[in-house]
Amino acid sequence: MLLLILKRIGLGLITLFIVSLITFVGVEVLPGDACTTYLEREAYGAALDACIKRLGLDVPAYERYLDWASNVARGDFGYSLSGEMPINEVLGPRVKNSLVLASVSILIGIPLAIVLGIITALWRDKLPDIMISTITIFSMTIPEFISATLLILIVAIWLGWLPGIVIIPSDATFYELLSNIILPVVAISMIMTAHMARMVRSSVIQVMASDYVQMAILKGVPYWKMVFRHVLPNALLPAINVVALTIAWLLGGVVVTEVVFNYPGLGRLVIESISNRDLPVVQALAIILASIYVGINLIADLMTLMLNPRLKSLQIRK
Amino acid sequence: MNEIIESVKNLSIGFNSQKGKQISILRNVSTNIKKGETVGIVGESGSGKSTLALAMMGYIKQGLFPLKGECLFKSEDLLKMSSRQLEKIRGRKIAMIPQNAGQALTPNLKIGYQIDEALRLHTDLNKTERDKKISELLNKVRLPSPETMAFRYPHELSGGQQQRVAVAMALAGKPDLLLLDEPTTGLDVTTQAHVLELLRFIAKDTGTSMIYVSHDLGAIAQVSDRIVVMYAGEIVLEGPARKILKEPIHPYTYGLLKSIPKLSLAGLPDSMPGSQPQPGSINEGCSFYDRCNLAIDHCKKNSPDLEHIKELDTNVRCFNHKELINQNNNLQTSITKKTNNSEAIEVLKLKDVSISYAKQKFFDQLLNKISDQNPTVKDINIDIKKGETIALVGESGSGKSTILKSIAGLLKTKDGQIKFENDRILSSDLKMRNPNDLRAIQLIFQNPDESLNPNHTVEQILSQPLKLYFNLSGEELKKNIIDLLKKVRLGEFYMSRYPRQLSGGEKQRVAVARAFAAKPDIILCDEVTSALDVSVQAAVLNLLQQLKEDLGTTYVFVSHDLAVVRAISDRVAVLYQGRLCEIGPSQNVYKFPSHPYTEVLLGAVLEPDPDIKPKLVAEDIVEEKPPEKGCSFQGRCPRKIGDICNSEVPPWQIGENGNAIRCHINIEELASLQQ
C-alpha cells in the first residue's frame, strides 16, 4: 500500500519535472529572451545588459534550467520584471484569493452536485429528474464568460443587489473577499456542478441496475437503507476521479471568471503577466497550475485507493 | 407435506412493445409449491423461468408488469402488496439465492455485515447473538474458518465460496421458501457438485421448500422432487422429477433430453431443429409447432391446454403426448456415431510449451530481470494429427484457453515451440507469421455476441476472410458467401442481416462459417457451445462434426464440459493448473484407470438422471497458482501418497488402453483403486 502511494507520488513528480522542462524549453525557443521580450523597443545598451545580468541570461541554457529548477524546488520562483519584486511576493496574495474562490466553489458545488445527481437518478424520468436535468444540461452548455456576463447584467446592473466588479486590494482580508465573491462563485460552480451531477446520476443509475441492488431488495432491505448502504458507496467511488478532473478543469474557469469580474487572483495574474510579457512569472504560474492539477489527481487516486476494498487489499487478479 | 406454501394462479406478465402492443413473457402460468418440496423450473433462455421465479417473490423487473393472475403466498397476493409489506416477507419468509453471487454481493460491504444485515432485519437477536449466528451460518454452509471469513470482502473469496455466502445470507432469516435462480451456473464442475450437495443437505436439514430455476437438466435432476418445464412463457410439462426425466411425454422435453450429450456414450446427441419463438410472435396454435416432429395440422391452429394425466401424475400441454408414452427406450440409444477420419500425419506439434502471464513491469525490468520460474502453463507436449478432434479439458484456470491463444499466436510462448506441417516452427509472434500460416489456423470464440461486429452484416462478416486470403470480389465473392452459408445451413437471405437479428445458434453458425471461409487446416474452438442453449448446442456440435468429415479439418476443442467433449472429440488432454495430467483416446480417458484429477472431474459431472449421483472425492479448493514443484494436483488430490507428490514431478505412464497418465501411483495400482 505504502509502496503504491510512493509510486503515485513519484509519478506525479516526474510529471511536474516534464512540465518544467516543457515550459523552460518553450520560453527558450521563443524568438528573443525574457529581457528582449519585456523591454521591447528599449532592448538595447545598458538597460538590456542590466536586465540580462539580473536574470543571469548570460550563462548557457542548461545551467540556467538547473539553477531555475533547483530554486523552484526550494520554492523560489525568481524575480518579476513588471512588478520589480520577487515573484513570491507577487504570488502570495493572489494564490490566497484564488484559493478562496476555488474552495468556496468546490465546497458548495460538490455536495450540491451529489445531491442533485442522486435525486435525478432515484426519480429517473419523473418530474424532479426532468426539471433538474433540463437545468443542468442548460447550464453545462453556457460557457463561463457568458454566464458571468449575464450574472453581472442581471444581478448587479438590473437588480443592483451585488457588486458587479470586485474592487478590492489584492491583499484584502477574507471577510472583505467573501461579500465580493458570490457572483464569481456562482459563475464558476454552475458548469462544474452540472457536469458532476450528470456524472453522479449515471453512476447511481448504473449501480441501481446491478445484481447486488436487486439482491438487497429481495433480501428485504428497506429502500432508503438500501440506497445509503448498498448504492451510494459504490456509485460515488468511480465519481471521485471525475470530480478531480472537473476540479482541475475548474482552473480554466477560474481564469476566465477572474478576468470578467476583475478578481485579483492567479487567473488574472496569468493574463496580466502574459500581456506584460513577464516571462518569469508566466513560467512560475505554469508550474504552479500544473502542480495543482497533479496534486488534485493524486489526492483523488489515493482516495479511491483508500475507499475501494478491492484496491486496498491489492489482490490483483487477471 | 401437502400444505401449499405458495401458489401461482393464471399468471401472465408482459410489457408494452414500441408499437403499443401488449406482449406477454409469461402466459397463464399456474403451479403450487408444497411445504418441504423442491421444485425444479427448467427451460432455455427466454422461456420466462426467471421472470416466474422473481414474481414468486413479488418482484417484477423494470419494464415488465403483471397482466393478470396472482401469486399467493400463504393466501396473500404478493403482487398486490406494498413495498413495506414485501420487505417483511422477502428474506424472512421467502429468500433468494442469486445466479452470480460474485455480482450479487455488494462489493463494498464485508461478508459478515451482509449476513448481519439480514439477521437485523429479520430476527430479534442482539449483537452478541447475531455474531454467534453469523459464525453458525458460515459453518453450516461449510466455509473454512468462519471467524475470519466474516471480515472479508466478497472479492476476496472464490466463486464457490461467494455462492456459499449467498446461501448463508438466505438462510439467515429462516425462510419457509428458498428461491434459487441458476445458483450453480458459472461455477466449475467440481464446485457446482459441491454446492448442489450442500443445497440438498440444507433442504433435508431445515425442511425448507425450494424452487430451483435452471437451464441445466443435470443440476435439476439432482435436487428436484418435482419438475416444471417452461417453453416460450408457458408450462408445457409438470410432474414428478423421475417421471419427467425418464418418461417425458412432451415432445420438447423429449427432444431436450435427447440433445444432452451423455458421459456414458460416445457420439453426438440428436439436435432439435429451430429455436424458441420470440415473445409476441405466437398468435395461434401450439408454441412448439415449428420444431415439433409430432405436429399435425390441428396443432397449427389450436393451442393445447395443460392436461392432467392421472396415471403419471403429470400435466402436459400437447395433443399428441400419447405417442411418446412408450418411446422412452429411445432416450438413451439414439445417438449418432461419428467417424474418426484422422490420418497418421501430424499437423501441429506443441513441444515443451510454457506460457507466462507474469508481466515484467517497467521498474522490474530496470531493477531485476528474473523471469517467471513458475509459469501459468508449463511443459505442454501434444502432437495433433491431421483430421482429428483433440479436446483440452479442465476447470477455470487450467490453462486450456491460454494454450489455444498461443497456438493462434495471440499470446507469446515463454519457452518451447509450436510446429506446424513438416516440423516448421511457427513464430510465437503473430506479426512474424506468414499470411498462409495465419489463414491455416482459425479461431472460433465462445461468445458470438462479442466476436461478431455488430455493425457489419453477415455478408460483410463473411466477405472479410475471403477478400483478405483469396482476393475475391464481385460475383465470385457472393457465390462463395452463399456457399458458406449453405454449409452452415443458413439461407441466402441471411446475408443482409445484422448479428442482433440472429438467434444465439445462428450467430454461432455465422462464426463457424467465418472460420471456414479461410479454408483452414486447423480450427481452434474456445468453449464454442457453452453460451448456447442445450438444444442449440447439439445442433452446433453436429454441424462441426459434419463439416469436419466433409473437409478434413482438424479441431482443437477447448471445453469445461466433459460430456460435450466426450461427444465430439477423438482424443482428450486433461489439464490442471496449466500442466498436463492425462492424454489419450477419448474412449479410454473416460475409462479407468485415470489420473486422480480426471477421476474427480468425471465424478462431479451431473447427468440428467436422478439415479446417477455425483461422486465428490476432492475438496473444491481454488488454487491461485500452480505449485512450485512436484505434481500440479498435489493440493487437492484425494489419492496423494506422500512427500514425493510435493517434491517430484510425476512420470508419464502409458496404460494398456493407450492413455498416458502423469502420476506417482503405479498405473495398475491406480486401476485397482478406482474399480
ipTM of the complex: 0.80
Kind of pairing between the strands at B415-420 and B346-355: antiparallel
The count of other CB atoms within 10 Å of the CB of residue B309 is: 15
d(CA B66, CA B11): 7
pLDDT at residue number B326: 67
Residue B589: CB partners within 8 Å, gap ≥ 6?
B572, B574, B582, B583, B598, B659
Give the residues across from B505 on adjacent strands: none
Type of residue numbered B642:
G
Claim to verify: residue A142 and residue A258 sit in the same structural domain: yes
Q: Tell me, what's the pLDDT at B359?
A: 62
Spell out which residues of chain A touch residue B108, defining contact as CB-CB under 8 Å: 233-234, 237, 307-309
Tell me the three cell numbers of residue A109.
458545488
Distance from CA of A302 to the nearest CA of B (A): 17
HSE (side-chain half, CA atoms, 13 Å) at B204: 7
Chain A nearest-CA distance from B629, in A, is: 22
Residue of A nearest to B114 (CA): A216
Chain B residues close to A313, C-beta within 8 Å:
153, 155-156
Which range of residues forms the domain containing residue A242?
92-312
A148 shares its domain with A62: no
Pairing of strands B234-240, B314-316: antiparallel
Shortest Cα distance, chain A CAs vs residue B89, angstroms: 7
Do B106 and A237 count as a contact with CB atoms less than 8 A apart?
A: no
Chain B: residue whose CA lies nearest to A214: B104
Q: How far apart are CA A181 and CA A254, in angstroms?
A: 12
> Which among A219, A310, A314, A318 is the top mutation candidate for probing chain B, defined by the most B β-carbons within 10 Å of its own β-carbon?
A219
The interaxial angle of helices B111-122 and B159-172, nearest 10 deg, is 20
3-state SS record for B242-255:
HHHHHCCCCHHHHH
Per the listing, cell 458545488 goes with A109
Question: In chain A, pLDDT over 70 holds for what percent of residues?
Answer: 90
Does A208 fall in a domain? yes
- Are A211 and B104 inside 8 Å of each other by CB? yes
Using CA coordinates, name the residue in chain B closest to A221: B87
pLDDT digits (tens, 9 = 90+) for A218-247: 999 999 999 999 999 899 888 887 777 777
Q: Whole-angstrom Cα distance, residue A184 to residue A191?
A: 12
- The verdict on A75 and A61 lying in the same domain is yes
Q: What part of A 220-259 touches B (C-beta under 8 Å)?
A: 220-223, 229-230, 233-234, 237
Is A60 in the same domain as A174? no
Is there a domain that residue A34 lies in?
yes
| Model confidence at A17: pLDDT above 70 | yes
Distance CA B270, CA B495 (A): 28
Name, in order, each residue with C-beta under 8 angstroms of B500's C-beta and a sequence gap of 6 or more: B454
Domain count, chain A: 2
Candidates A216, A237, A308; nearest CB to B106: A216
The distance of Cα B205 from the centroid of its chain, to the nearest Å, equals 29
Query: b/e per residue, A229-249, with b = 16+ CB within 10 A?
Result: bbbbbbbbbbbbebbbbbbbe
Q: Is B105–A212 a contact, with Cβ atoms under 8 angstroms apart?
A: yes
Instruction: Assess whether A82 and A166 both reside in one domain.
Output: no
Residue A317 falls inside a structural domain: no
When pLDDT is cut at 50, 70 and 90, the band that residue A168 belongs to is low
SS3 of chain A: the string is: CHHHHHHHHHHHHHHHHHHHHHHHHHHHHCCCCHHHHHHHHHCCHHHHHHHHHHHCCCCCHHHHHHHHHHHHHCCCCCEECCCCEEHHHHHHHHHHHHHHHHHHHHHHHHHHHHHHHHHHHHCCCCHHHHHHHHHHHHHHHCCHHHHHHHHHHHHHHHCCCCCCCCCCCCCCCHHHHHHHCHHHHHHHHHHHHHHHHHHHHHHHHHHHCCHHHHHHHHCCCCHHHHHHHHHHHHHHHHHHHHHHHHHHHHHHHHHHHHHHHCCCCHHHHHHHHHHCCCHHHHHHHHHHHHHHHHHHHHHHHHHHHHHCHHHHCCCCCC
- Kindly determine whether residue A220 and residue B90, on different chains, have CB atoms separated by under 8 Å: yes
Distance from CA of A218 to the nearest CA of B (A): 6
**Does the CB of A13 have a partner CB in chain B at under 8 Å?**
no
Preferred mutation among B54, B83, B108 to probe A, highest tally of A CBs within 10 A = B108
Q: What is residue B636's DSSP assignment?
A: T
CA B399 to chain centre: 18
At B46, is the secondary structure helix, strand, or coil? coil
Domain boundary among A87, A107, A142: A87
Determine the Cα–Cα distance for residues A200 and A192; give it in Å rounded to an integer: 12
Please tell me which residue of chain B has the smallest CA distance to A218.
B90
Q: Do A309 and B106 touch (CB under 8 A)?
A: no
The closest CB to that of A219, out of B54, B83, B169, belongs to B169
Residue of A nearest to B61 (CA): A214
Instruction: Give the residue-averaged pLDDT of A72-80.
Output: 77
Residues A155 and A58 in one domain: no
Q: With a CB-CB cutoff of 8 Å, which residues 438-477 of chain B face chain A?
A: none
Among residues 51-70 of chain B, which lie with CB inside 8 Å of chain A? 54, 57, 59
Is A318 part of any domain?
no
Residue A83, pLDDT > 90, answer: no
Cβ distance B238 to B315 under 8 Å?
Answer: yes
Counting as low any pLDDT under 70, the low residues of chain B are: 1, 326-342, 358-372
Q: What grid cell was written down for B456?
A: 457489419
From chain B, pick out residues whose CB is under 8 angstroms from the CB of A235.
none
**A47 and A97 inside one domain:** no
Name the residue of chain B whose CA is nearest to A313's CA.
Answer: B156
Contact in structure between A250 and A310 (CB atoms under 8 Å): no
d(C-alpha B556, C-alpha B521), whole Å: 11
pLDDT higher for A253 or B439?
B439
How does pLDDT run across B479-496, given as a tens digit for each residue? 999 999 998 888 888 999
Rg of chain A over all Cα atoms, to the nearest angstrom: 24
Q: Residue A219 in contact with residue A211, Cβ under 8 Å?
A: no
Task: Return the bridge partners of B524, or none.
Answer: B443, B556
Q: Which of A55, A87, A119 is the last residue of a domain?
A: A87
**Residue B518, pLDDT score:** 92
Give B546-568 pLDDT, tens digit per residue: 888 888 899 999 998 888 998 89
Report the gap between the CA of B83 and the closest CA in chain A (Å): 8
What percentage of chain B reaches a pLDDT higher than 90?
34
pLDDT digits (tens, 9 = 90+) for A95-143: 888 888 888 888 888 899 999 999 999 998 889 999 999 998 888 888 8
Q: Which pLDDT score, from 0 to 100, does residue A315 have?
A: 40
Asked whether residue A126 falls in the same domain as residue A73, the answer is no
CB contact under 8 A, A309 and B169: no
DSSP B229: E
Average pLDDT over chain A, rounded to an integer? 81
Could you tell me how many residues make up chain B? 675
User: What is the per-residue pLDDT for B258?
Assistant: 86
Residue A101: which CATH number?
A: 1.10.3720.10
Q: Do B100 and A214 touch (CB under 8 A)?
A: no
Are residues A81 and A109 both part of a single domain? no
Q: Residue B52: which H helix or E strand, with range?
A: helix B49-55
Instruction: Identify whether the C-beta of residue B536 lies closer than 8 Å to the C-beta of residue B504.
Output: yes
Kindly report the number of other CB atoms within 10 A of residue B22's CB atom.
12
Is the four-CA dihedral A274, A278, A279, A280 of positive or negative sign?
negative
Contact A211 B59 (CB under 8 A): no
CA distance B230 to B29: 9
Report the C-alpha gap between B672 and B601 in whole angstroms.
19
| Contact: A220, B88; criterion CB under 8 Å | yes
Q: Cβ–Cβ contacts within 10 Å for residue B563, how many?
A: 20
* C-beta of residue A90 within 8 angstroms of C-beta of residue A281: yes
pLDDT at residue number A212: 92
Asked if B121 contacts A221 with a C-beta cutoff of 8 angstroms, the reply is: yes
Q: Report residue A310's pLDDT band, with 50, 70 and 90 as the boundaries.
A: low
Residue with C-alpha cell 507436449? B381
Number of Cα atoms under 13 Å in the Cβ half of residue A63: 6
Touching check for A318 and chain B: CB below 8 Å?
A: yes
Q: Hey, is B126 helix, strand or coil?
A: coil
Q: Which chain B residues are within 8 Å of A222, Cβ to Cβ? A: 87, 121
- The partner residue sitting opposite B153, judged by closest CB among A210, A221, A309, is A309
Verify that A79 and A102 share a domain, yes or no.
no
Cβ contact B91–A234 (<8 Å): no
Q: Which residues of A31-68 are buried (b: 16+ CB within 10 A; e: fewer)?
A: eebbbbbbbeeebeeeebeebbeebeeeeeeeebeeeb
Residue burial B636-671, b: 16+ Cβ < 10 Å; e: rest: bbebbeeeebeeeebeebebebebbbbbbbebeebb
| pLDDT band at A314; cut points 50, 70, 90 | very low
Sheet with B314-316: list strands edge to edge. Answer: B94-97, B177-181, B209-214, B38-42, B226-231, B234-240, B314-316, B307-309
Domain contains A176: yes
DSSP string computed for B451-492 = HS-TTS-HHHHHHHHHHHHH---HHHHHHHHHHHHHHTT--G
Q: Is the same domain home to A78 and A112?
A: no
Domains defined for chain B, CATH in brackets = 254-275+283-337 (no CATH), 348-586 (3.40.50.300)
Residue A151 belongs to some domain of the structure: yes
Nearest beta carbon to residue A212 from set B104, B118, B357: B104
Would the CB atoms of B83 and A223 count as touching at under 8 Å? Answer: yes
Phi then psi for B335, rounded to 5 degrees?
-130, 135
Which residues 6+ apart lie within 8 Å of A160 measured at CB? Answer: none
Helix (H, G, I), strand (E, B) or coil at B665: coil
pLDDT tier for residue A203 given thresholds of 50, 70 and 90: very high
Statement to judge: residues A45 and A28 lie in one domain: yes
Domain boundary among A31, A53, A87: A87
